[in-house]
Homo-oligomer: A and B are copies of this chain.
Amino acid sequence: MKVVIIGGVAGGATAAARLRRLDETAEIVILERTGYVSYANCGLPYYVGGVIRAQDALTLQTPESFRARFNIDVRVGHQALAIHQESHTITVLDLASGTQYVEGYDKLILSPGARAVKPDLPGVDDCRVFTLRTVEDTLRIRSYIESHRPRSAVVVGGGFIGLEGAENLLHAGVATTLLQRSGQVLPPLDWDMAQEVHSYLRGQGLDLRLNAGVQGFQEMDGQFYTLVKDSAPIPSDLVLLAIGVTPESDLAREAGLTLGAKGAIVVNEHMVTSDPDIYAVGDAVELTHFVSGSKALIALAGPANRQGRIAADHICGRESRYAGAQGSSIIKLFHMTAASTGLNEKAAQAAGIPYDKTVTYSASHATYYPGAENMTIKTLFDPSSGRVLGAQIVGFGGVDKRIDVLATAIRARMTAAELTELDLAYAPPYSSAKDPVNMAGYVIENLRNGAISQFHWSDVESIPKDGSVTLLDVRTPQEVAVQGLIRPDAVNIPVDELRDRMGELDPSKPVYVNCYSGLRSYLACRMLGQRGFQCSHLSGGWRFWSYVTTDRTHEAAPTHPCGAEIEE
């Protein structure tokens, strides 16, 4: 059996190694267009910033090491030009020599990846405009930084590559402006969850400009400028274009394979395309989302690796299946971590899936042990079953742990009630006796069984202002004096005085309660509800409302949140 693999990174490299482990006698050829195989593509931004210093850290595997270990014929600098399905052959171009040749296959695996989108804008081909997708791209930027010592950069696009690129440029001492066309960075987050990220990034020295549409690039008076709609041109010594990726499916399209959304290659659960002898894996394929069941494009390394293994298994007669991706993703931004798994509100709405949500604010570990840091968790759930549909977390330490626990719970189709029962490992340096994930479960269960009602930051302005309702703030007067009320018509009664001062409230009026994070307002609602008040509390509290509703464009980030903040 002869298997040819087009694309030798992530999915393609995994498929090759797995094939060899299953079949010592197969002939396996990898055709890789770039000069590198099985390189660490997720590490590339960190090489730009010098966080990763040794170039060979990114390219641990070489064609020679791959051949020695796996007896695989790795041809870097070889580009597949055309697939001939009837004859089971491929036309290949050897980029170094310029010669073409024909390679036969019994089974073909396409792992072409996705390419950086380069929009058709004036000046986009200037040598100071870079993209960041391959090792070559990375070396080019690093070399430019070392030779030209740029003092300023513009990054276009606030996805993973744009943000990691911006962090690394700042790390390398380059003043950086990030231009994002929409009103938020990090599409895996909902807009409200992105607000704390924006504030934090600005506090770290990033010149973040939202709703900034780039119109082109131009040299004027010896200075290179990025042209922005409704804004002054922005001078910089280099530009990193990171507005997204698109499936590299030209070869598949030309071969007549079935394509789906955004030109991605359609595959079945064994990663087989519309041609039974051609498989496709990685960023170029259309996936089924595990939670929504919708078709999705998910350009992440984890799914690519799993798919490569599954394609190899199926070629070797094993019955493994790809069960769908849930888009779990995470990014480090200086000391902050932002992560997501499953459905966010945008995705649930697009898929027509009913959901409700909570916003909780929890410490990474016991607050009496040094170093606790708070995190904001937004959890989406099915209102009828309580099944967890998705989660987003923004915080510092311990975010990665909680997103993976939630990703596992979502995979197991757990309900919020089951989150409360999770028996997680607790010691003061690691967690609290009630872990943040347990707490999210408790809050959802309280909502579902009627122990509490909630309202959201987006409801605050539409609550009647005609005196027909009561807005009640149960923080201390000291907190209110420093932080302010969510609306000037709110009254302040600290939760610890509420039992004695309940007579000050009109029991005929609905009460909307808030505190700092949502814990004291919950307690207050329990008190009020039992005395006959119609009552609801602000999910996420003053804190989340404040992040979402305050224009902090020109404000430094607030003090790093400390553990004591939530000892309500």
Contacts and interface: CB of A to CB of B under 8 A. Distances in A.
A328 B425 CA distance: 5
A42 interface: yes
A368 B405 CA distance: 25
Contacts of A330: 425-427, 430
A556 to B, nearest CB: 24
A305 interface: yes
Interface stretch (A52-60, A125-133, A176-184): A52-60
Interface stretch (A230-238, A248-256, A408-416): A408-416
A401 B337 CA distance: 15
Contacts of A366: 40, 42-43
A51 interface: yes
Interface stretch (A116-124, A374-382, A526-534, A545-553): A526-534
A137 interface: no
A331 B431 CA distance: 11
A24 B234 CA distance: 61
A341 B404 CA distance: 16
A57 B23 CA distance: 61
A496 interface: yes
Interface in A461-507: 495-496, 499
Q: How many copies does the complex hold?
A: 2
Given A23-B530, A69-B523, A526-B21, A306 B421 contact: yes
Nearest to A323: B421
A325 B71 CA distance: 49
A411 B420 CA distance: 11
Contact of A401 (B370, B400, B420): B400
A434 interface: yes
A91 B71 CA distance: 80
A332 interface: yes
Nearest to A305: B433
A96 interface: no
A536 interface: no
Interface stretch (A79-87, A101-109, A221-229, A296-304): A296-304
B401 A424 contact: no
A241 B304 CA distance: 53
A24 B425 contact: no
B423 A412 contact: no
Nearest to A402: B404
A201 interface: no
A354 interface: no
A87 to B, nearest CB: 30
A435 B51 CA distance: 22
A433 B10 CA distance: 9
Contacts of A68: 496
A521 interface: no
Most buried by B among A21, A337, A340: A21
Contacts of A337: 430
A10 B400 CA distance: 27
A422 interface: yes
Contacts of A425: 328-330, 339-341, 400, 403-404, 407
A505 to B, nearest CB: 15
A429 interface: yes
A290 interface: yes
B300 A43 contact: no
A189 to B, nearest CB: 13
Contacts of A404: 401, 404-405, 424-425, 431, 435
Given A22-B451, A407-B425, A408-B412, 4 more contacts: A20-B526, A58-B368, A328-B426, A412-B418
26 contacts: A20-B526, A21-B451, A21-B523, A22-B451, A42-B366, A43-B366, A43-B369, A43-B428, A46-B369, A51-B369, A60-B368, A71-B499, A290-B423, A302-B424, A305-B434, A318-B449, A325-B423, A326-B423, A328-B424, A328-B426, A400-B431, A407-B425, A408-B408, A408-B424, A409-B412, A412-B418
